[in-house]
Amino acid sequence: MPSLTEPDPRTMDCIARLIGFDTVSRNSNLELLDWARAHLEQHGATIRMDFNEDRQKANLLASFGEGPGGLVLSGHTDVVPVDGQDWASDPFTATVRDGKLFGRGACDMKGFVGVILGHAPDYAKAARREPIHVALSYDEEVGCLGIPRLIEAMQGWGIKPTGCLVGEPTSMRPVSAHKGGRVYRCKVTGKAAHSSLAPSAVNAVEYAARLIALIQSLADHERRGGLRAEGFDVPHTTISANVFRGGTAANIVPAAAELMFEFRYVAGFDPEALIAKIRRFAAEELEPAMQAVDAQTGIEIALVNAIPALDAKEGDAIFRRVCDLVPGETVEKVSYGTEASFFQNSGVPAMVCGPGSIVQAHKADEYVTLEQLARCDRFIDGLIGATAG
């Protein structure tokens, strides 16, 4: 009988090994995957790899059992940097104290990955009815860059699962929905001049400010009367300009400005229509006046990354099974994004549920409680038991 408060020793060993790999997103994850591959193959998995363009990072899919259908247990291998953070212990050494396991990624999300790798010896038996797949991705923390490639590769390999669990930290509460997200970079090219000759210049900062004012007005519209999705802390689409750079001196009309803005949108909201409004304003309201002074001026808006919204349905088998395994927990909706929505968009129903609190993610002294890991051990036991029938 699994302990209510102590994690499976296999889980603890795997988490310690995972934390020991410095897989900050700027680094390769191949050393971690080499270890994971050997561990999974030892327990009967068929391994498939999908490399990025320079072959310094990869996604891994470990399959137990063959045939259609099955369950995907999915997690990302990268973590955020520790630069500038004051840790009480080495962030790349798993440290247990006061009922908590500390280390970079302990919460987000090497804790969950350690659980699903720790249970690898159980999958071959559980997969007699239908396959179990373990999916490990790269570069989730910098825009979910790896998972679309892995899903495309899975389709090419003929792997068509019927459900997916993504184990992002939810305090082991089931999450059925999250907002989509898009980040854009806007570059404004003006014409510089001495500030005493301002009428002959094109002030890039001022034109960028007008674009920011539009973004604020669109955000106000969504807040006051936009599409509502109950259950979220913020039940509507949010739009915000969060990064700005421009200008070099008080007496120089700036020739360049740059801003980054984002949408976090609820399911059913059309982000294409929103960005079209912003582009149209730039092209029809701002650029004509800019280019009347200098034809080389202009505004460029480019998509940096995009994460779809997640909206799991109560009729999905994975929805019912996850909820059955966490009785008494309310199904939640969250405003941050996960890789689950990419699976959903590919036709694979997905849910999010994993150990640890998002509040602890990305901080110095990141941790997950041992009790949460023990709960996740029992949860995975139940989930693969259901798969085995």
Domain annotation covers residue 1: no
pLDDT band at 1; cut points 50, 70, 90: low
Within this chain, do residues 168 and 206 fall inside the same structural domain, yes or no? no
| pLDDT (mean) for 290-302 | 98
Locate tokens 């051990």: which residue?
377
Largest CA distance in the chain: 80
pLDDT in tens, 254-273: 999 999 999 999 989 999 99
pLDDT in tens, 127-186: 988 899 999 999 999 999 999 999 999 999 999 999 999 999 999 999 999 999 999 999
For the domain that residue 245 is a member of, what is the CATH number?
3.30.70.360
Within this chain, do residues 162 and 197 fall inside the same structural domain, yes or no? no
Question: Rounded distance, CA 42 to CA 61, Å?
Answer: 15
Question: Rounded distance, CA 16 to CA 270, Å?
Answer: 43
Long-range contacts, 278-284 (Cβ 8 Å, 24+): 278/211, 278/214, 278/215, 278/218, 281/211, 281/214, 282/186, 282/211
Domain annotation covers residue 196: yes
pLDDT computed for residue 335 by the predictor: 86
Within this chain, do residues 81 and 226 fall inside the same structural domain, yes or no? no
Within this chain, do residues 242 and 377 fall inside the same structural domain, yes or no? no
Within this chain, do residues 300 and 353 fall inside the same structural domain, yes or no? no
Within this chain, do residues 165 and 34 fall inside the same structural domain, yes or no? yes
Domain annotation covers residue 3: no
Domain annotation covers residue 4: no
Within this chain, do residues 165 and 187 fall inside the same structural domain, yes or no? no
Within this chain, do residues 273 and 153 fall inside the same structural domain, yes or no? no
Within this chain, do residues 313 and 228 fall inside the same structural domain, yes or no? no
| pLDDT (mean) for 31-45 | 98
pLDDT computed for residue 174 by the predictor: 98
Domain annotation covers residue 140: yes
Domain annotation covers residue 237: yes
Which of 282, 307, 332 finishes a domain? 307
The sign of the dihedral angle between the CA atoms of 346, 350, 355, 360 is: positive
Within this chain, do residues 197 and 320 fall inside the same structural domain, yes or no? no
pLDDT computed for residue 93 by the predictor: 99
pLDDT computed for residue 4 by the predictor: 73
Within this chain, do residues 186 and 216 fall inside the same structural domain, yes or no? yes
pLDDT in tens, 193-224: 999 999 999 999 999 999 999 999 999 999 99
Domain annotation covers residue 115: yes
pLDDT computed for residue 388 by the predictor: 54
Distance of CA 124 to the CA centre of its chain: 29
Which of 257, 272, 307 finishes a domain? 307
Residues designated as active site: 78, 140
Domain annotation covers residue 123: yes
pLDDT computed for residue 385 by the predictor: 87
| pLDDT (mean) for 233-261 | 97
Mean of all residue pLDDT scores within the chain: 96
**DSSP collapsed to 3 states, the chain:** CCCCCCCCHHHHHHHHHHHCCCCECCCCCHHHHHHHHHHHHHCCCEEEEEECCCCCCEEEEEEECCCCCCEEEEEECCECCCCCCCCCCCCCCCEEECCEEECCCCCCCHHHHHHHHHCHHHHHHHCCCCCEEEEEECCCCCCCCCHHHHHHHHHHCCCCCCEEEECCCCCCCCEEEECEEEEEEEEEECECEEHHHHHHCECHHHHHHHHHHHHHHHHHHHHHHCCCCCCCCCCCCEEEEEEEEECCCCCEECCEEEEEEEEEECCCCCHHHHHHHHHHHHHHHHHHHHHHHCCCCEEEEEEEEEECCEECCCCCHHHHHHHHHCCCCCCEEECCCCCHHHHHHCCCCEEECCCCCHHHCCCCCCEEEHHHHHHHHHHHHHHHHHHHC
For the domain that residue 364 is a member of, what is the CATH number?
3.40.630.10
pLDDT in tens, 328-342: 999 999 988 999 999
Within this chain, do residues 244 and 372 fall inside the same structural domain, yes or no? no
Which of 307, 327, 350 finishes a domain? 307
Count of the separate structural domains present in the chain: 2
Domain containing residue 265: 180-307
